[in-house]
Amino acid sequence: MKVIYGTGNLKKIEQVKNFFKTQSVDLEILSLKDIGFNEEIEENGETIEENSMIKAKAIKEYCEKNNINEIIITDDTGLMVDALNGKPGVHTARYAGDHAPQEVAINKLLDEMKNIEEKERTAHFECVLTAVLPNGKYIVEKGITEGKIATKPGTMGKLTFGPIFIPNGYIVVMNDLKDEELGHTHREIAFLKLLEDLKKCER
């Protein structure tokens, strides 16, 4: 079975491939580049659910025009900080401006939270996956990782806000945890749910 994963980010493609392998799922993952999709999608939704759906519909329309009939999966992810009324939320990827360096985005968030006490620094990552089946059916699943915002960054890299997000049950930030320590992230939780949905569709 082939699946089109709605991203041009090869690192994300590789992460999903590795995740499917750990679940003993035999899927061929195609990127947007693999299907010749190079259009700019305007993600103007008010929620991450809307943005994930916007991407799914745009890719579905392209696939129909080009006689491509595979499962399409898109995602959108946001960091919701309770003390900031859910910000950066749907604007997580552009929180400090388009293509802003990780350090700039992190410093902006930490600056906005400099007077927030530890017990009030709760936050969560949320990932929404939208799958479009060849028959036109849409499936939406969500994964969440609860935690809090640290007062200073740990190891940089990976998720933009991974260096300052401490998952519940740990005392160090997400980026300083090994994969086996962290367990399933919000994206992986959403994929696990989606895989169960796809298995049901095959029955």
Residues with a catalytic annotation lie at 76
Beta bridge partners of 71: 3
Instruction: Count other C-beta atoms under 10 Å from residue 172's C-beta.
Output: 13
Pick the closest to residue 125 from 110, 103, 147 (CA basis): 147
Beta bridge partners of 76: 128
